[in-house]
Amino acid sequence: MSHYFFADEPRPAPFNADDLTKKDSGAVSKFMAQRILELGESHPAGSRERRAAQSLGHSVGVLIDELNLCFDDEEPETLRARMRTWNLVVFAVWPWEGTAGYDADRWQLVKHVDADAAVEAARHLLEGREELAEKKRAERAGR
């Protein structure tokens, strides 16, 4: 059995979880439904390929259903669930990047729940870099 290992991942999104809508979910769902239909119809019933297409369809369907539950409100817990589930969906659709209908500008990994979280993450990163720079300056001064 061969295994596939990816050295990279989908690109990070320039938007946050609170920017996602059911329209995004619907677009991914429609795209994947078409790919799964094409794959399934190109192989005979009962074949391994048809079963793989069915399995993919069920798996993606569950993810899309779960994502759709995350649009009821903008509470922090809901936004975290939206981000996690969206990112699972993005990984499921990612192998089709570069094909017709794939929305490379939208189907990207979300790193933050909202703008406040993005700013806080940037602030934390900057503080860490400043601490490291200060440590290096102190080491050089002690030599």
Rounded Cα distance between 83 and 16, Å, is 8
* Alpha-carbon span 128 to 78, nearest angstrom: 29
The pLDDT of residue 42 is 93
Look up tokens 């119809």; give the residue: 41
The per-residue pLDDT of the chain, averaged, comes to 89
Residues whose CB is less than 8 angstroms from the CB of residue 35 and which lie 6 or more positions away in sequence, other chains included: 96
Q: What is the pTM of this model?
A: 0.80
- Convert the pLDDT of each residue in 79-129 to its tens digit: 999 999 999 999 999 999 999 999 999 999 999 998 777 678 667 776 777
